[in-house]
Amino acid sequence: MRQKMAAGNWKLNGTSATLVELQALAEAYGTAGVDVLICPPASLLHRAAEVAKGSAVTLGGQDCHAAVSGAHTGDTSAEMLKDAGATAVILGHSERRADHFETDATVCAKAEAAMASGLITIVCLGESLEQREAGETLDIIGAQLAGSVPAGATGDTLVVAYEPIWAIGTGKVPTLEQIGEVHAFLRAQLILRFGGEIGGAVRLLYGGSVKPGNAAEIFAVGDVDGALVGGASLRAADFSPIIAALEAA
Protein backbone atom coordinates (compact mmCIF):
# COMPACT_ATOMS: atom_id res chain seq x y z
CA MET A 1 0.00 0.00 0.00
CA ARG A 2 1.37 3.38 -0.98
CA GLN A 3 1.07 6.04 1.71
CA LYS A 4 -1.01 8.87 0.27
CA MET A 5 0.38 12.40 0.15
CA ALA A 6 -1.20 15.86 0.21
CA ALA A 7 1.54 18.30 -0.77
CA GLY A 8 1.16 22.07 -0.77
CA ASN A 9 3.33 24.29 -2.93
CA TRP A 10 3.27 27.88 -1.69
CA LYS A 11 5.44 29.09 -4.61
CA LEU A 12 6.48 32.76 -4.27
CA ASN A 13 3.92 33.39 -1.55
CA GLY A 14 4.33 33.73 2.17
CA THR A 15 5.95 35.94 4.77
CA SER A 16 6.10 35.46 8.51
CA ALA A 17 2.45 36.55 8.74
CA THR A 18 1.43 33.56 6.59
CA LEU A 19 2.71 31.11 9.20
CA VAL A 20 -0.66 31.38 10.97
CA GLU A 21 -2.01 29.18 8.16
CA LEU A 22 0.65 26.56 8.87
CA GLN A 23 -0.07 26.89 12.58
CA ALA A 24 -3.75 26.15 11.92
CA LEU A 25 -2.84 23.06 9.88
CA ALA A 26 -0.41 21.86 12.54
CA GLU A 27 -3.09 22.25 15.22
CA ALA A 28 -5.65 20.39 13.08
CA TYR A 29 -3.24 17.59 12.17
CA GLY A 30 -1.44 16.36 15.24
CA THR A 31 -1.75 13.05 13.44
CA ALA A 32 -2.98 12.36 9.93
CA GLY A 33 -3.95 9.34 7.87
CA VAL A 34 -1.92 10.64 4.94
CA ASP A 35 1.41 12.43 4.53
CA VAL A 36 0.85 16.18 4.80
CA LEU A 37 3.61 18.30 3.29
CA ILE A 38 3.87 22.07 2.96
CA CYS A 39 6.57 23.59 0.77
CA PRO A 40 6.91 27.26 1.78
CA PRO A 41 9.46 29.63 0.28
CA ALA A 42 12.97 28.80 1.51
CA SER A 43 13.02 32.03 3.53
CA LEU A 44 10.32 30.59 5.82
CA LEU A 45 11.52 27.01 6.13
CA HIS A 46 13.33 27.28 9.41
CA ARG A 47 10.52 29.10 11.18
CA ALA A 48 7.93 26.85 9.54
CA ALA A 49 9.74 23.84 10.97
CA GLU A 50 9.41 25.35 14.45
CA VAL A 51 5.70 25.98 13.92
CA ALA A 52 5.01 22.47 12.61
CA LYS A 53 7.13 20.69 15.24
CA GLY A 54 5.26 17.90 16.99
CA SER A 55 2.49 17.79 14.36
CA ALA A 56 1.96 15.51 11.36
CA VAL A 57 2.76 18.36 8.98
CA THR A 58 6.15 18.04 7.30
CA LEU A 59 8.01 20.62 5.25
CA GLY A 60 9.74 20.75 1.93
CA GLY A 61 11.66 23.04 -0.39
CA GLN A 62 10.55 24.12 -3.86
CA ASP A 63 13.91 23.66 -5.58
CA CYS A 64 17.53 22.88 -4.76
CA HIS A 65 20.91 23.15 -6.43
CA ALA A 66 22.67 20.00 -7.63
CA ALA A 67 25.84 20.88 -5.70
CA VAL A 68 26.24 20.45 -1.96
CA SER A 69 27.98 23.82 -1.58
CA GLY A 70 30.12 26.24 -3.56
CA ALA A 71 30.10 29.39 -5.66
CA HIS A 72 26.43 29.46 -6.70
CA THR A 73 25.06 32.81 -5.60
CA GLY A 74 21.39 32.78 -4.68
CA ASP A 75 21.01 29.00 -4.66
CA THR A 76 20.13 26.58 -1.89
CA SER A 77 21.42 23.02 -1.62
CA ALA A 78 19.49 19.94 -0.61
CA GLU A 79 21.64 19.73 2.53
CA MET A 80 20.68 23.30 3.41
CA LEU A 81 16.99 22.55 3.00
CA LYS A 82 17.38 19.54 5.21
CA ASP A 83 19.28 21.55 7.78
CA ALA A 84 16.44 24.10 7.80
CA GLY A 85 13.88 21.38 8.57
CA ALA A 86 12.79 20.03 5.17
CA THR A 87 12.15 16.35 4.59
CA ALA A 88 11.24 16.77 0.92
CA VAL A 89 11.81 18.95 -2.12
CA ILE A 90 9.83 19.72 -5.26
CA LEU A 91 11.99 19.58 -8.40
CA GLY A 92 11.38 20.36 -12.06
CA HIS A 93 8.15 22.27 -11.54
CA SER A 94 6.99 23.66 -14.89
CA GLU A 95 7.51 27.19 -13.55
CA ARG A 96 11.18 26.34 -12.87
CA ARG A 97 11.50 24.69 -16.26
CA ALA A 98 10.02 27.82 -17.92
CA ASP A 99 11.44 30.64 -15.76
CA HIS A 100 14.88 29.13 -15.16
CA PHE A 101 15.30 27.07 -18.31
CA GLU A 102 15.65 23.84 -16.36
CA THR A 103 16.06 20.82 -18.62
CA ASP A 104 15.39 17.18 -17.77
CA ALA A 105 19.14 16.77 -17.23
CA THR A 106 19.19 19.68 -14.76
CA VAL A 107 16.26 18.23 -12.88
CA CYS A 108 17.88 14.79 -12.84
CA ALA A 109 21.12 16.16 -11.36
CA LYS A 110 19.15 18.02 -8.68
CA ALA A 111 17.13 14.91 -7.93
CA GLU A 112 20.31 12.90 -7.45
CA ALA A 113 21.54 15.48 -4.94
CA ALA A 114 18.21 15.57 -3.13
CA MET A 115 18.04 11.78 -2.86
CA ALA A 116 21.64 11.64 -1.65
CA SER A 117 20.62 14.05 1.13
CA GLY A 118 17.75 11.79 2.11
CA LEU A 119 15.02 14.17 0.95
CA ILE A 120 11.82 12.82 -0.57
CA THR A 121 12.11 14.07 -4.12
CA ILE A 122 8.97 15.17 -5.92
CA VAL A 123 9.78 15.28 -9.64
CA CYS A 124 7.21 17.28 -11.63
CA LEU A 125 6.32 16.78 -15.26
CA GLY A 126 3.49 17.70 -17.57
CA GLU A 127 2.55 18.68 -21.09
CA SER A 128 1.59 22.08 -22.51
CA LEU A 129 -1.81 22.67 -24.10
CA GLU A 130 -0.23 22.66 -27.57
CA GLN A 131 1.40 19.29 -26.87
CA ARG A 132 -1.87 17.83 -25.60
CA GLU A 133 -3.79 19.10 -28.59
CA ALA A 134 -1.16 17.65 -30.92
CA GLY A 135 -1.62 14.23 -29.29
CA GLU A 136 1.92 14.25 -27.89
CA THR A 137 1.10 14.01 -24.19
CA LEU A 138 2.37 10.49 -23.47
CA ASP A 139 5.52 10.99 -25.59
CA ILE A 140 6.34 14.18 -23.70
CA ILE A 141 5.59 12.67 -20.28
CA GLY A 142 7.60 9.55 -21.08
CA ALA A 143 10.62 11.59 -22.18
CA GLN A 144 10.42 13.85 -19.11
CA LEU A 145 10.17 10.86 -16.80
CA ALA A 146 13.11 9.07 -18.43
CA GLY A 147 15.26 12.21 -18.40
CA SER A 148 14.37 13.70 -15.03
CA VAL A 149 14.41 10.66 -12.74
CA PRO A 150 17.84 9.39 -11.76
CA ALA A 151 18.88 5.74 -11.60
CA GLY A 152 18.73 4.51 -8.04
CA ALA A 153 15.36 6.09 -7.27
CA THR A 154 13.24 4.08 -4.84
CA GLY A 155 9.70 4.14 -3.52
CA ASP A 156 11.01 5.90 -0.42
CA THR A 157 12.93 8.63 -2.24
CA LEU A 158 10.88 9.32 -5.38
CA VAL A 159 7.44 10.85 -5.83
CA VAL A 160 6.30 11.85 -9.33
CA ALA A 161 3.80 14.69 -9.82
CA TYR A 162 1.84 14.90 -13.06
CA GLU A 163 0.98 18.55 -13.60
CA PRO A 164 -0.42 19.50 -17.01
CA ILE A 165 0.91 23.04 -17.54
CA TRP A 166 -2.46 24.25 -18.82
CA ALA A 167 -4.15 23.15 -15.59
CA ILE A 168 -1.81 25.00 -13.22
CA GLY A 169 -3.44 28.04 -11.65
CA THR A 170 -6.07 28.16 -14.39
CA GLY A 171 -9.06 26.44 -12.80
CA LYS A 172 -9.00 24.01 -15.76
CA VAL A 173 -8.66 20.35 -14.89
CA PRO A 174 -8.19 17.40 -17.26
CA THR A 175 -11.00 14.88 -17.41
CA LEU A 176 -10.72 12.01 -14.95
CA GLU A 177 -10.04 9.75 -17.95
CA GLN A 178 -7.12 11.94 -19.02
CA ILE A 179 -5.67 11.91 -15.49
CA GLY A 180 -6.15 8.15 -15.28
CA GLU A 181 -4.49 7.58 -18.66
CA VAL A 182 -1.35 9.53 -17.73
CA HIS A 183 -1.07 8.01 -14.24
CA ALA A 184 -1.44 4.47 -15.61
CA PHE A 185 1.21 5.28 -18.21
CA LEU A 186 3.58 6.66 -15.54
CA ARG A 187 3.08 3.57 -13.41
CA ALA A 188 3.82 1.28 -16.38
CA GLN A 189 6.94 3.27 -17.32
CA LEU A 190 8.24 3.19 -13.74
CA ILE A 191 7.70 -0.57 -13.54
CA LEU A 192 9.44 -1.06 -16.89
CA ARG A 193 12.47 0.90 -15.73
CA PHE A 194 12.73 0.01 -12.04
CA GLY A 195 10.89 -3.29 -11.79
CA GLY A 196 7.61 -4.09 -10.10
CA GLU A 197 8.67 -3.56 -6.51
CA ILE A 198 10.13 -0.07 -6.86
CA GLY A 199 7.92 0.98 -9.78
CA GLY A 200 4.87 -0.11 -7.83
CA ALA A 201 5.95 1.77 -4.70
CA VAL A 202 6.64 5.23 -6.18
CA ARG A 203 3.81 7.61 -5.35
CA LEU A 204 2.09 9.49 -8.17
CA LEU A 205 0.52 12.86 -7.41
CA TYR A 206 -1.82 14.84 -9.62
CA GLY A 207 -1.38 18.63 -9.64
CA GLY A 208 -3.18 21.49 -11.37
CA SER A 209 -6.20 23.36 -9.97
CA VAL A 210 -6.96 20.80 -7.26
CA LYS A 211 -9.60 22.38 -5.00
CA PRO A 212 -11.85 21.22 -2.16
CA GLY A 213 -14.65 20.79 -4.71
CA ASN A 214 -12.83 18.44 -7.13
CA ALA A 215 -10.37 16.64 -4.85
CA ALA A 216 -12.52 13.60 -4.00
CA GLU A 217 -13.24 12.66 -7.62
CA ILE A 218 -9.57 13.07 -8.58
CA PHE A 219 -8.45 10.91 -5.63
CA ALA A 220 -10.80 8.14 -6.80
CA VAL A 221 -8.85 7.80 -10.08
CA GLY A 222 -6.58 4.74 -10.27
CA ASP A 223 -2.90 5.34 -9.50
CA VAL A 224 -3.55 8.79 -8.05
CA ASP A 225 -1.80 8.66 -4.67
CA GLY A 226 -2.43 12.27 -3.73
CA ALA A 227 -2.06 15.81 -4.97
CA LEU A 228 0.39 18.64 -5.39
CA VAL A 229 -1.63 21.75 -4.64
CA GLY A 230 -0.71 25.36 -5.33
CA GLY A 231 -3.32 28.05 -4.72
CA ALA A 232 -5.56 25.96 -2.49
CA SER A 233 -2.67 25.14 -0.13
CA LEU A 234 -2.19 28.75 0.95
CA ARG A 235 -5.07 28.73 3.39
CA ALA A 236 -5.66 26.01 5.96
CA ALA A 237 -9.41 26.36 5.35
CA ASP A 238 -8.91 25.31 1.72
CA PHE A 239 -6.18 22.72 2.20
CA SER A 240 -7.84 20.88 5.12
CA PRO A 241 -10.82 19.62 3.08
CA ILE A 242 -8.38 18.36 0.43
CA ILE A 243 -6.47 16.44 3.11
CA ALA A 244 -9.77 15.09 4.43
CA ALA A 245 -10.82 13.96 0.93
CA LEU A 246 -7.52 12.12 0.56
CA GLU A 247 -7.88 10.47 3.97
CA ALA A 248 -11.35 9.28 2.93
CA ALA A 249 -10.23 8.00 -0.50
Establish if 9 lies at the interface with ligand PGA (CB under 6 A).
yes
Give the list of residues 6+ apart from residue 31 with CB closer than 8 angstroms, or none: 56
DSSP state of 166: G
Catalytic option among 95, 102, 127, 163: 163
The interface region with ligand PGA, picked from 128-136, 179-187, 207-215, 218-226 by CB under 6 A, is 207-215
User: Which among 218, 150, 160 is positioned nearest to 188, based on CA atoms?
Assistant: 160
Nearer CB in complex with ligand PGA: 49/228 = 228
The interface region with ligand PGA, picked from 115-123, 152-160, 186-194, 228-236 by CB under 6 A, is 228-236
Judge whether 183 counts as a catalytic residue.
no
Residue from 30, 169, 195, 196 in contact with ligand PGA (CB under 6 A): 169
Judge whether 46 counts as a catalytic residue.
no
Closest contact distance (angstroms) between CB of 213 and ligand PGA is 13
226 SS3 class: strand
Quote the CA–CA distance of 37 and 89 in Å, as a whole number: 10
Residue 58 · residue 37 · CB < 8 Å: yes
Establish if 115 lies at the interface with ligand PGA (CB under 6 A).
no
Residues within window 50-109 making contact with ligand PGA, judged by CB under 6 A? none
60 SS3 class: strand
Give the list of residues 6+ apart from residue 239 with CB closer than 8 angstroms, or none: 6, 8, 25, 229, 232, 233
Establish if 123 lies at the interface with ligand PGA (CB under 6 A).
no
Q: By the criterion CB under 6 A, which residues form the site for ligand PGA? A: 9, 163, 168-169, 207-210, 228-232
Instruction: Report, as residue numbers or ranges, the catalytic residues.
Output: 93, 163
